[in-house]
Amino acid sequence: MARADREQERAAIARLMALKNAGQLTTEHVRLAAHGVGLSERTVWRRLDKGLSTPSEYQLSETDREAFACYGGNIAAVHRARSASVSGESESQVAGAAVPEFLASGWAGSAQVSLRTLQRAFRRELTPAQLAAWRHGEAGRRAAGVYLTRGPSRRNEVWEMDHKQLPVLVLPPRGPAVCPWLTTVLDDGTRSLIGWAIALTPHTGTVLTAIRMALVYDVARGPYGAVPAAYRIDRGLEFTATAVRDVFAALCVAGHRLPAFQPHRKGKVERLHRTIDQTLLGGLPGYTKGPREAGGRLYGPLDDRAAARARAADAQVAPMRIERFAARFAQWVSWYNTERPHRMLAGRTPLQAWHDDPSALQRIDAASLRHLLLASTERTIGKAGVQFNNFAYVAPELRGRGGQHVIVRYMPHDDRSVEIYLDGAHLCTAYPADQLTAEQQEAFRAHARDEARELGRQRRRATARARVELAPLTGAEPAEQSRLQPTTAPPRTQRRRDEALARKARSDLLGLPSGRTRTSPVSAPEPDDPETRE
């Protein structure tokens, strides 16, 4: 039978002592009490003889506690040092090393205790968290801790966001095999994974990409996509960047930055990451937490050691490409949200929990969220368009802009389109040149024709203006004979202007009338003609 707690023992022994003092104690009483509290009859008789309702127990001293910390939670080492110090030796030693002076002086004059007594005292007076703190550090203390849980929240009310380096090998577009980073946005109320991004290293761009996915409503992804009321993040610099903070501030979303090194404060997203390891990554080749050989090599065809990573791209059996892994992860997200029952949701899937919640959602237009895309780097518009990620992106608005510097904003692992910004303003949405539809190709050519037509119209208009200015200076005939001369003035006023221009045109270089040509007399201006009034 299991031993009862201290209060039951104390109550049983006190009852037996009362019977003994009254002269009514029998062996049957002792046998029943011993069986009830899980002690032997001999132990009960011994305590009755000594008049103890509770056994005498050794109490830890301050020196015992200091020694426990000094020896890293090793109670056997504490006992050896204590025994050597209490024995009165001039130079106490433990395993060939001298006992620290502060411990030897603290134990001076103490009584000897057995190892079992000391072990019971430590287990009785220290909590499991305190014991684990000195044996395994902070991780052990937290493993034995008890934490508060947050109450339920409505759908899309609070987001939890975090990074995680995935323990699986993938091949980037260039370079050795790596373990990619995942940025996740989890809905606190329904445990739905509503936004994510995969990149080689975590940065502000991946955070913005995951946030944009969580904000934009897309029928293909489900009913998700709305503005939350608040979000929780840790101390990661990517989440606290100015760009991320400004986005949420513009949307009037409150942020809660949690203390460092306290993952339990956002335990739901941490549990999601463990679910990813258990249900997805553990079955993929190149899972770095899998079993290993004696030399450290992973079981299976892939090796994650540095030399093997460097030559992975040229190996006969190589890890999957990061683009293919992203597509595989997208399929897993769909399964997790729509098919996997969740214990904390009463067996419902995250999608069912989302539909069961009638809370209103604040949708936002996707067009107004273009600025949330990642601003990757500056590019120069070339003959083939904008070169980015091994694609040449084109758009009608890029015609005639060769040589200009632009900013490309994009969503990782989505090469279908990019957003082009010029001088901080959105210029166009560009598409890969080799993937344009017939309609897009025709729109590109039509834009080119319109541009050429407009440029020709402007060129003809500029030529006409230049001819008007040049005709009276170089022509031998009066300017009124030119068919390009404007005739918006009244006839009489226009005739006087033409005569004045003719006199100027027939002057020599000194400004004197030419002897070969007779100048026409100039009529006096009409007093009612405002055009000729000086």
pLDDT for position 519 = 44
Q: Which domain holds residue 36?
A: 6-50
| Most confident among 19-28, 412-421, 507-516 (mean pLDDT) | 19-28
Q: What is the mean pLDDT of residues 170-190?
A: 94
Task: Indicate whether 113 and 21 sit together in one domain.
Answer: no
Q: Which of 191-195, 197-201, 241-245, 290-294 has the lowest mean pLDDT?
A: 241-245
What are the C-alpha distances in Å from 326 to residues 153, 190, 277, 350? 30, 23, 15, 21
What is the structure's pLDDT at 527?
A: 47
The percentage of the chain sitting over the pLDDT mark of 90, rounded to a whole number, equals 41
Assigned token pair, 371: 């600025």
Instruction: Say if residue 369's pLDDT is above 90.
Output: no
My answer on whether 222 and 346 are in the same domain is yes
User: Would you say 493 and 526 are in contact if contact means Cβ atoms under 8 Å apart?
Assistant: no
Among residues 143, 166, 198, which one ends one of the domains?
Answer: 143
Question: Does the pLDDT value for residue 243 go beyond 80?
Answer: no
389-433 tens-digit pLDDT: 889 999 888 878 889 999 888 776 677 888 899 988 888 889 898
* Residue corresponding to tokens 């849980």: 149
Residue 530 pLDDT > 50: no
Question: Does residue 121 share a domain with residue 80?
Answer: yes
Last residue of a domain, which of 118, 143, 168? 143
Is residue 363 assigned to a domain? no
Could you tell me if 179 and 281 are in contact, meaning their C-beta atoms sit under 8 angstroms apart? Answer: no
* pTM (two decimals): 0.66
Q: Which of 11-20, 90-99, 363-372, 403-412 has the least mean pLDDT?
A: 90-99
- Residue 265 domain flag: yes
Sorted by sequence, the CB contacts under 8 Å of residue 241 that are 6+ apart come out as 204, 207
Same domain, 430 and 442: no
Between 121 and 439, where is the model more confident? Answer: 121
Task: Provide the residue type at 30 as one letter.
Answer: V
Q: How far apart are CA 8 and CA 406, in angstroms?
A: 80
Q: How far is CA 414 from CA 324, 326, 327, 411, 417, in A?
A: 12, 10, 10, 6, 7
Cα–Cα distance for residue pair 192/228, rounded to 1 Å? 13
Q: What is the pLDDT of residue 356?
A: 96
Q: At what angle do helices 27-37 and 6-21 cross, to 10 degrees?
A: 170
- 194 and 182 fall within a common domain: yes
pLDDT band at 128 (very low <50, low <70, confident <90, very high): very high
- Dist CA 453 CA 157 (whole Å): 54
Distances (CA, A) of 14 to 7, 21, 43, 52: 11, 11, 14, 8
User: Distance from CA of residue 55 to its chain's centroid?
Assistant: 57
Residue 36 has pLDDT above 90, yes or no: no
496's tokens? 């006087």
> What is residue 451's predicted lDDT score, i.e. its pLDDT?
79
Please report, rounded to a whole number, the percentage of residues in the chain having pLDDT higher than 70.
84
pLDDT of residue 370: 66
Q: Do the domain assignments include residue 113?
A: yes
> Between these two residues, 500 and 328, which has the higher pLDDT value?
328
Q: Is there a single domain that holds both residue 408 and residue 316?
A: no
pLDDT in tens, 486-502: 555 567 777 777 777 66
Fill in the DSSP letter of residue 151. P
220 and 79, same domain (yes or no): no
pLDDT (0 to 100) of residue 149: 83
What is the residue-averaged pLDDT of the chain? 84
Residue 498 belongs to some domain of the structure = yes
pLDDT score, position 471? 63
pLDDT for residue 333 is more than 60: yes
Among 46-50, 200-204, 343-347, the range with the most confident prediction by mean pLDDT is 343-347
pLDDT of 267 over the 80 cut: yes
Residue with tokens 């029952």: 341
* pLDDT score at 194: 96
Q: Averaged over 126-132, what is the pLDDT?
A: 93
Q: Say which CATH number the domain at 287 has.
A: 3.30.420.10
Number of domain units in the chain:
5
In a domain, 520, yes or no: no
Q: Mean pLDDT check: name the lowest of 147-151, 216-220, 258-262, 409-413.
A: 409-413
Comparing 88-102, 110-124, 165-179, 334-348, the range with the smallest average pLDDT is 88-102
431 shares a domain with 443: no
For residue 384, tell me if it sits in a domain: yes
Residue 177 and residue 113 in one domain: no
Average pLDDT of span 261-275: 91
Spatial neighbors of 448 by CB under 8 A, at least 6 apart, are 396, 399
| 474 — pLDDT class (breaks 50, 70, 90) | low
Inter-residue contact 388 to 379 (CB < 8 Å): yes
Q: Specify the higher pLDDT residue, 93 or 126.
A: 126
**What backbone torsions phi and psi does residue 284 show, to the nearest 5 degrees?**
-95, 145
Q: Is residue 18 part of a domain?
A: yes
pLDDT confidence of residue 392: 92
